[in-house]
Amino acid sequence: MILETIARGIVRHRKLVLVLAILLLIPALLGTAATRINYDILTYLPPELDSMLGEVALENDFNLASTGMVTVEGLPLGELLSMKAEMEQVEGVEQVFWLSDVIDPAIPQEMLPEAIQQAMYGENATLMLVRFSAPSASESTMNAVDQLKSLLREHSFIGGMSVILQDTKALVDKEMPLYILCAVGASLLVLFLAMESTLVPLLFMLGLLFPILYNFGTNYFLGQISYITQALSTVLQLGVTMDFSIFLLHRYEEEKARSENKEQAMAKAIQNTFSSITASSLTTIAGFLALCTMRLTLGRDIGIVMAKGVALGVVCTITILPSLILTFDRAVEKHRHKAVIPQLKKVSQFVSKHPGSILAVFLVVMVPFTIAQSKTSVYYTLFDSLPQDLAGIVGTNKLKDDFGMTTSHFILVDEDINGEDLKALCADLKEVDGITQVASVSEFLTPGFSMDMLPESIAQLAQSGGRKLILANSEYKSGTDELTAQLNEMNSLLKAADPTGVITGEGAMTKDLIEIADVDFAHVNVASIAAVFLIILLTFRSGSIPVLLVVSIESAIFVNMGIPYFTGTSLPFIASIVIGTVQLGATVDYAILMATRFREERQQGKAPREAAQIACQYCSQSILSSGLTFFAATIGVAAISRMELLKSICLLISRGALISMFVIIIILPCLLQLLDPLIRHTTLHWLGKQEKVQPIERKELA
């Protein structure tokens, strides 16, 4: 009764609904502009980890959490000092540290202590350390890095985490409009083929504009979102919630045929659509919220934003879209054409005639894919997912080539550790495989020069906040087995010398990321399956239907995740975690639609085979329209993005939509048909409240 009243109110006051919807775009746009975007994935690690505690100390006490490294090749001394002075004037730069800050730069290189030569000089190159006054991913540091790039002389290169994050921001900002254009353009193409009116796809896109902008605007209350969430949320929300618009329109067309006028038809369509998409949207929301179980809070970031987007999509589908359709109803009718995407009548007949053979072939195919998906390689080196011609990547590679500085470790020990123990620790660390240099500021001091004689900004590099700092450079890349083994050995040496000591930096944080991601992958899969299973169980009041639907989608996920193994493709770690949840939550709708129609036909007295054929035929058009739209919304991003991380996620999602679509149209009807006896005995009122087993059904089952 309440829903009926609301539906009639929306229809009656549709102009007011549209006016309010447009007015709400104002705070949404303001919220969007004010929402901070975080480009540093490592900041989403749990704060209690040693690497994160060390990172906080570097930022608060040493002002070293945000640094850049400038490699200078063959630049005259005067020009080098001039560039250094210009860099120090850039807003957001705390200090540019070079040899001239501690000794006379005119002293010949060969007369310097060996430790200084190793740390500050490479083959035909020297090194400057840039300290920023704000964290790496802050707007201040991003702007400072952009200005520093413009001050670089010929044969000078800047690298390090802060620089790479600024490159990431510039690349995302450049490509984001293209992502949206591709998603909208490709989705419109599919909708023009699927819908019977040229105007309807445009109304769908206009209707989806509101929940997408509302979603971006309400992200302001989260404080910040990651750049991955920002890049994916539009295309995912478009692909996932388009189903709701299609369901509403199809129901409206049905109701018009048996209603007195279009207002009455729309009111009934709103009621029925809301009821039908409730379970569908809840499974999708539950799937996204399962990401919140990750210790890596990037999952919570993506999960909350996408769950919120789906919920807003439901609300806007039953309020704004009906108002738009009624307002432009005459134009919709005027521009009608025949839909190109058909119902798969012949396919449905073939499926219902050969369910056993189809399932047998499918099970055989699933064996290699089930094995392959567990062997698909995953990488954790975040820089590998970026274009290798970015300034930060080139500069970081120069550090490796000229100084053997592929990865830098920042080691913090208690300030009470005496000088001899500190030297012994540094000597032990130098013996660890892959370590190229171990240094502290105290090693740069000439005889008779005490720490008190150094400028405060330099002394801070040696000791601050109750800790002393050691810098160790490694020739190994972060995220590799070699670096993990190296860090384990270093940590053992450190804890023996100082139980409170910690190692931080990109390498240590990436190592923690690997260990957490492996656990998160299992947690997210279990949580998403359990949540979706429970919602389907309550919806169908069945013990078997949830198993069949979840197994169908999970088999599609296994195929999707197995393909990279056969193609020799390595996936970024976050893609392997996110895809299972997204594909399950987004495409289980197709399975619910198929199972619901099969149940309806069975309750009308149809035999399992006929019910499966009808369900497959009449659901195929909606599933094709929805699945192809989801595919179109994401495949464009996969095609144009230069960021391997986003490209991989979108390729998996787009391919997953097609695989799920195939499994639900071809495999699920076979399962429903063959396992109907089991379903009847494990489902409450499967054939209706007056459930009776007809003789013809017994004969057929026999």
Q: What is the pLDDT of residues 619-640, one digit of tens each?
A: 888 888 888 988 998 998 898 9
Based on the fold, state whether residues 24 and 56 are members of the same structural domain.
no
Task: Look at residues 128, 129, 162 and name the one whose alpha carbon lies nearest to residue 146.
Answer: 162
How much is the average pLDDT of 128-149? 88
Please tell me the distance from the alpha carbon of residue 202 to that of residue 183, in angstroms, as a whole number: 14
pLDDT of residue 559: 95
Which residue bears the tokens 């010398």? 497
How much is the average pLDDT of 479-494? 91
CATH code (residue 456) = 3.30.70.1380
Please tell me the distance from the alpha carbon of residue 589 to that of residue 185, in angstroms, as a whole number: 24
What separation in angstroms does the CA of 183 have from each of 42, 356, 446? 29, 39, 62
Based on the fold, state whether residues 106 and 120 are members of the same structural domain.
yes
139-147's contacts with Cβ under 8 Å and 24+ in sequence apart are 140/91, 140/92, 141/66, 141/92, 141/165, 141/166, 142/166, 142/169, 143/91, 143/92, 144/90, 144/91, 144/92, 144/93, 145/68, 146/170, 147/90, 147/91
pLDDT of residue 700: 34
Based on the fold, state whether residues 563 and 466 are members of the same structural domain.
no
Please tell me the distance from the alpha carbon of residue 697 to that of residue 702, in angstroms, as a whole number: 8
Domain membership of residue 475 as a residue range: 400-511
Please check whether residue 420 lies inside any domain of the structure: yes
Domain boundary among 116, 148, 167: 167
Task: Look at residues 298, 303, 290, 191 and name the one whose alpha carbon lies nearest to residue 238.
Answer: 191
Based on the fold, state whether residues 568 and 622 are members of the same structural domain.
yes
User: 63 CB contacts (<8 Å, ≥6 apart)?
Assistant: 94, 95, 131, 132, 133, 460
Based on the fold, state whether residues 479 and 597 are members of the same structural domain.
no
Confidence at 465, pLDDT banded by 50, 70, 90: confident
**508, pLDDT greater than 50:** yes
How much is the average pLDDT of 570-598? 86
CB 471 within 8 A of CB 462: no
Lowest mean pLDDT among 353-357, 513-517, 563-567: 513-517
Based on the fold, state whether residues 87 and 202 are members of the same structural domain.
no
Please check whether residue 289 lies inside any domain of the structure: yes
User: 348 CB contacts (<8 Å, ≥6 apart)?
Assistant: 612, 613, 614, 616, 617, 620, 669
What separation in angstroms does the CA of 263 have from each of 8, 208, 268, 318, 356? 8, 22, 9, 14, 47
Percent of the chain with pLDDT over 90: 31
By the 10 Å C-beta count (0-12 exposed, 13-18 middle, 19+ buried), 242 is classed as buried
How much is the average pLDDT of 435-463? 63
**613, pLDDT greater than 90:** yes
At residue 628, φ and ψ (nearest 5 deg) are -70, -35
Please check whether residue 173 lies inside any domain of the structure: no
**102, pLDDT greater than 70:** no
With the C-alpha atoms ordered 442, 443, 449, 453, is the resulting torsion angle positive or negative?
negative
Which residue bears the tokens 């199809």? 250
**Residue-averaged pLDDT of the chain:** 85
CB 641 within 8 A of CB 632: no
pLDDT of residue 108: 67
Higher pLDDT, 61 or 320: 320
pLDDT of residue 111: 62
Based on the fold, state whether residues 253 and 217 are members of the same structural domain.
yes
The SS3 call for residue 269 is helix
Please check whether residue 522 lies inside any domain of the structure: yes
CATH code (residue 100) = 3.30.70
**195, pLDDT greater than 50:** yes
Confidence at 610, pLDDT banded by 50, 70, 90: very high
Confidence at 694, pLDDT banded by 50, 70, 90: very low
Based on the fold, state whether residues 246 and 148 are members of the same structural domain.
no
pLDDT of residue 702: 29
Strand pairing partners for 570? none
Express each pLDDT in 238-286 by its tens digit.
888 888 888 888 788 878 888 788 888 899 888 888 877 877 788 889 8
Based on the fold, state whether residues 323 and 208 are members of the same structural domain.
yes
Cα 474 → chain centroid: 30
With the C-alpha atoms ordered 381, 382, 384, 388, is the resulting torsion angle positive or negative?
negative
Please check whether residue 213 lies inside any domain of the structure: yes
Please check whether residue 208 lies inside any domain of the structure: yes
Please check whether residue 41 lies inside any domain of the structure: no
Please tell me the distance from the alpha carbon of residue 233 to that of residue 235, in angstroms, as a whole number: 6
| Side-chain half-sphere CA neighbours of 611 within 13 A | 24
Based on the fold, state whether residues 267 and 416 are members of the same structural domain.
no
pLDDT of residue 366: 94
Based on the fold, state whether residues 14 and 124 are members of the same structural domain.
no
Which residue bears the tokens 């270093």? 490
Lowest mean pLDDT among 220-229, 332-341, 687-696: 687-696
Confidence at 451, pLDDT banded by 50, 70, 90: low
Please tell me the distance from the alpha carbon of residue 17 to that of residue 232, in angstroms, as a whole number: 29
**106, pLDDT greater than 80:** no
pLDDT of residue 457: 58
Based on the fold, state whether residues 503 and 520 are members of the same structural domain.
no
Express each pLDDT in 651-668 by its tens digit.
999 999 999 999 999 999
Higher pLDDT, 159 or 99: 159
The SS3 call for residue 267 is helix
Please check whether residue 381 lies inside any domain of the structure: no
Confidence at 45, pLDDT banded by 50, 70, 90: confident
Of the ranges 65-69, 97-101, 203-207, which is most confident?
203-207
Confidence at 356, pLDDT banded by 50, 70, 90: very high
- Into how many domains does the chain fold? 4
Task: Look at residues 172, 303, 190, 302 and name the one whose alpha carbon lies nearest to residue 245.
Answer: 190
CATH code (residue 27) = 1.20.1640.10
